[in-house]
Structure 1
């Protein structure tokens, strides 16, 4: 029986290692998407800035002009551009913090401060992989040891509950 438990524990440990390794992989795909979102927003804002400059406006004055327009559509475009500028600032700050953070801190930063839109896009298109980075290998090892050890501890505990105490019988003379 204990041999079967060890085999099952080992198999579950392998599964735990594979599952745990997906955290760093998700983080890596998140950072790629984050960079893509930043690049795209920069292009949109650069085109807007060029149009504003060609009209003798600054970015801020062009946004203010659009937002104050009585035409609802034009006013909404001004609000949307303001939101793009603000989002670009947040994303750049977030990416800067992730670049400065260590391997496991990046995952925590992503979970705590990650951009919801980027996170949802990564989740939708996530492709599992086994990362061979330090972060991926350590995550795999932690996942393996956690499940493997947890199963062995749990089965040991359950076995101890099922064991019946031995009664001491006296032999009479």
Structure 2
């Protein structure tokens, strides 16, 4: 019996440490996501400034310039207007998400992160993600949360296994 309790104690610690290590990666992922987000916003800003300058050459605002493309009878110009309009909308959406994440307290960031998540940027971030261990209050908070989650998963699995083995022992000949 001593061996089973020793193994059980070891396994629950493994789950706790694994939970801490896994969840503590979330602030790092968000940080790396925000760096990529900033890069996308900067590139869009360059493109939008070019469009704005082109619009100013003919005395138009950016919206008037895009509207001229959208209202064109020529399908090529109309499609170009849609591309320009989508670019402007994407810029606004990404900028809004960036500002929300920068201004949010650490406990609200996960909700805002999911709300403003751009899947293309998230995939790119994941492909280049570098694992680490954050040594700040946010990393500590997520590590504690990970410990609790790891222990909760361990205890849930333990209860399921206990019920399964009790049921199979009762039905065994």
TM bracket (short chain): 0.7 to 0.9
1:42/1:88 contact within 8 Å kept: yes
User: What's the TM-score once normalised by structure 1's chain length?
Assistant: 0.80
Change (3 A) 1:119 1:152: closer
1:24 is the counterpart of 2:42: no
Gap runs ≥5 in structure 2: 167-173
SS of residue matched to 1:129: coil
1:55 is the counterpart of 2:52: no
- The whole-number CA distance in structure 2 between the counterparts of 1:111 and 1:161 is 37
1:133 is the counterpart of 2:136: yes
Among candidates 41, 44, 59, match of residue 41 of structure 1: 44
- The whole-number CA distance in structure 2 between the counterparts of 1:145 and 1:134 is 17
1:87 is the counterpart of 2:90: yes
Change (3 A) 1:42 1:161: closer
- The whole-number CA distance in structure 2 between the counterparts of 1:77 and 1:131 is 44
- The whole-number CA distance in structure 2 between the counterparts of 1:95 and 1:162 is 50
Q: Could you tell me which residue of structure 2 aligns to residue 170 of structure 1?
A: none
1:5/1:155 contact within 8 Å kept: no
Q: Could you tell me which residue of structure 2 aligns to residue 9 of structure 1?
A: 12
- The whole-number CA distance in structure 2 between the counterparts of 1:146 and 1:24 is 16
Change (3 A) 1:124 1:73: farther
Change (3 A) 1:146 1:79: closer
Among candidates 88, 103, 109, match of residue 106 of structure 2: 103
- The whole-number CA distance in structure 1 between the counterparts of 2:12 and 2:129 is 28
User: What's the TM-score once normalised by structure 2's chain length?
Assistant: 0.80
Q: Could you tell me which residue of structure 1 aligns to residue 170 of structure 2?
A: none
Q: 1:48 deviation in Å?
A: 1.0
Q: 1:91 deviation in Å?
A: 1.7
1:26/1:126 contact within 8 Å kept: yes
- The whole-number CA distance in structure 2 between the counterparts of 1:68 and 1:13 is 60
Gap runs ≥5 in structure 1: 164-173
Query: How much is the aligned-residue C-alpha RMSD, in angstroms?
Result: 2.5
